[in-house]
Amino acid sequence: MTSQFLITLLLLSAYTLTSAAKFGRELKDLKKKKEHLTHFKFYWHEVLGGNNDNAAQIIPSIPKYNTTTSFGGLRVIDTPLTLGPKLSSKLVGRAEGLYAATSQTQIELLMIQTFNFFEGKYNGSAINVLGRNVVLNKTRELSVVGGSGVFRFAKGYVELSTYSFDPKSGSSIVEYNLYVLHY
């Protein structure tokens, strides 16, 4: 190898290093910030039928599959989140998202939701949640996959348990216990 070739090689690797540093810069201060674990408890209200329907069916279930599981059905939701179990109790946020019936053998939903909070320092921040909801199971669990605002870098989980169900309309009130790690 000639020395000229070696010098070119060195210059090239130095250039690659500095351009990578310009593109991705490590932030040491944020890493030093304290992580918080917060528990939120609220109630999720799904209203089906009537004027206040808040879960719109976008795709109906597919008749050629098991109809009792509603397989293939898809709804888009915008449901109130309240502090107490009554719909008239304090509104702390809204859950926006969608869910699909994804099992051929039981009533089970794949849920994708954002919890958009209105209260105090959480106002304007959101938590993004994804997971499997086996509706008839006593408790179900969804995963926190991220968040925005005060919930940047969020991780955690949500436990769901049905508080009440109206078999006539299909409307339900579900207790949500959210455990979230965030900065």
Ligand X SMILES: *[C@@H]1O[C@H](CO)[C@@H](O)[C@H](O)[C@H]1NC(C)=O
Instruction: Name the site residues for ligand X (rule: CB under 6 A).
Output: 66, 68-69, 104-107, 118-119, 123-124, 134, 137-140
> Which residue number, 133 or 171, has a Cβ lying nearer to ligand X?
133
Report the nearest approach of ligand X to the CB of residue 86 (Å): 19
Report the nearest approach of ligand X to the CB of residue 20 (Å): 39
> Which residue number, 53 or 78, has a Cβ lying nearer to ligand X?
78
Report the nearest approach of ligand X to the CB of residue 65 (Å): 9
> Which residue number, 14 or 73, has a Cβ lying nearer to ligand X?
73
Residue type, 128: N
Nearest CA-CA partner of 173 in 87, 36, 45: 45
φ, ψ (nearest 5 deg) of residue 153 = 70, 15
> Which residue number, 21 or 65, has a Cβ lying nearer to ligand X?
65
The residues near 41 (Cβ < 8 Å, ≥ 6 apart) are: 175, 176, 177, 178
Report the nearest approach of ligand X to the CB of residue 39 (Å): 19
- Helix H or strand E encompassing 57: strand 55-59
Q: What distance in Å separates the CA atoms of residue 106 and residue 68, rounded to the nearest whole number? A: 8
